[in-house]
C-alpha cells in the first residue's frame, strides 16, 4: 500500500515537472498544443511512460520532436527532482484519450439526432 502511494506521488511529481520543462524548453509547431495526460512509472521507479495528447492531430511531428529532445528533457528532469532514482522517461501517445474523444463525438452525434 505504501509503495503504491509512493509510486502515485512520483507519477504526479514527474508529470508536473515535465509539463513545466516542455512548456519552457521545447518548441512545438505553431498552433499545436501538447498535454501530458498521465505518467505511469514502473513499480521500481526506474522507468516511466509519459502519455501525451496532441491537438490538432500532428502526433507524428510532436513525437519526432520529443524523441530527439528526450535526452535533454531527461537531464533537466534529473536536475529538477531531488530523488533517486529518477525514472527514465518514454513518451507515448495516449490512445485512451483518443478513444474518449471518439466516444464523445459518437454520443454528441446521437444527441443531435
User: Which residue ranges make up each domain of the chain?
Assistant: 2-112
* pLDDT value of residue 84: 87
DSSP state of 42: -
Give the tens place of pLDDT for each residue, 19-28.
999 999 999 9
Give the global pTM: 0.83
pLDDT grade for 56, boundaries at 50, 70 and 90: confident
The H or E element spanning position 79 is helix 59-80
Q: What pLDDT, in 10s, does the model give residues 61-91?
A: 999 999 999 999 999 999 999 888 999 999 9
**Superfamily, domain 2-112:** K homology (KH) domain (3.30.300.20)
Amino acid at each position: 500500500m505504501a509503495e503504491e502511494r509512493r509510486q502515485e506521488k512520483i507519477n504526479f511529481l514527474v508529470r508536473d515537472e515535465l509539463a513545466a520543462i516542455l512548456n519552457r524548453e521545447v518548441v512545438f509547431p505553431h498552433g499545436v498544443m501538447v498535454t501530458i495526460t498521465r505518467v505511469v512509472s514502473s513499480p521500481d521507479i526506474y522507468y516511466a511512460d509519459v502519455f501525451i495528447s496532441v491537438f490538432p492531430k500532428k502526433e507524428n511531428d510532436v513525437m519526432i520532436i520529443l524523441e530527439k529532445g528526450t535526452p535533454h528533457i531527461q537531464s533537466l528532469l534529473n536536475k529538477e527532482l531531488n530523488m533517486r532514482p529518477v525514472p527514465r522517461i518514454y513518451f507515448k501517445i495516449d490512445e485512451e484519450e483518443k478513444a474518449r474523444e471518439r466516444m464523445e463525438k459518437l454520443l454528441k452525434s446521437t444527441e443531435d439526432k
